[in-house]
Amino acid sequence: MNMQLDPIDRRILRLLQRDASVSHDDLGAQVGLSRNACWRRVRALEQAGFIKKRVVLIDPDQVGLGLTVFLMIRTDRHGPDWLDQFAKATRDIPEILGAYRMTGDLDYLVRVRVADVAAYDTLYQKLIRRVEMADCSASFVMEELKETTELPL
């Protein structure tokens, strides 16, 4: 299914990525559509893959995951098997929330959520046991100014 996003779809997405707990009645009212005209559009957006999933966002501090760490990684192995191994490791380790191959002089950036510095060290040991890295330096987040899943639409 191919689809072009019209202004109403955009508004629906904008509202749903802010709060997906609204009813189709309310959502419809907010975009000026009937209950099921709105429902149809949401379903279409789901089927077309615009909406990937519905999730609950958990407060990391409340569950004891107070520390975000960014790892800047450089490798000297640029073959596909190193990347495979690294990609698999990042997928397997649940503390790793993000992993990105980058331009510039750092090769990879990894975003991690852990309880504290001790937990970070455990994770670091786990990671270097699984993948060889020429250089890996950690930067700790002191303050989270912003952190959102809302895309600019």
Partner DNA sequence: TATGAAAAGTTTGTAGA
Partner DNA sequence: TCTACAAACTTTTCATA
Which residues are near DNA by CB under 7 A? 8, 23-25, 33-37, 39-41, 43
Phi, psi of 113 (to 5 degrees): -120, 120
Give how many residues touch its own copies by CB under 8 A.
Answer: 61
Confirm if 98 and 111 have CB atoms less than 8 A apart: yes
Residues 116-135 contacting its own copies, CB under 8 A: none
The reply to whether 78 sits near its own copies by the rule CB under 8 A is: no
Q: Looking at beta carbons only, is 20 or 29 nearer to its own copies? A: 20
**Stretch near its own copies under the rule CB under 8 A, chosen from 31-39, 74-82, 87-95, 127-135:** 87-95
The reply to whether 85 sits near its own copies by the rule CB under 8 A is: no
Q: How far is CA 21 from the centre of its chain?
A: 20
Count Cα atoms within 13 angstroms, Cβ side, for 98. 11
Confirm if 1 and 39 have CB atoms less than 8 A apart: no
Least distance CB 97 / its own copies (angstroms): 5
Least distance CB 54 / DNA (angstroms): 11
CA-wise closest residue to 32 among 61, 54, 12: 12
Least distance CB 121 / its own copies (angstroms): 15
Q: Enter the tokens of residue 147.
A: 């952190």
Q: How many angstroms separate the CA atoms of 140 and 77, rounded?
A: 26
Q: Which residues make up the interface to its own copies (CB under 8 A)?
A: 5, 13, 16-21, 48-60, 62-63, 65, 68, 70, 86-87, 90-91, 94-104, 106, 108-109, 113, 137, 139-153
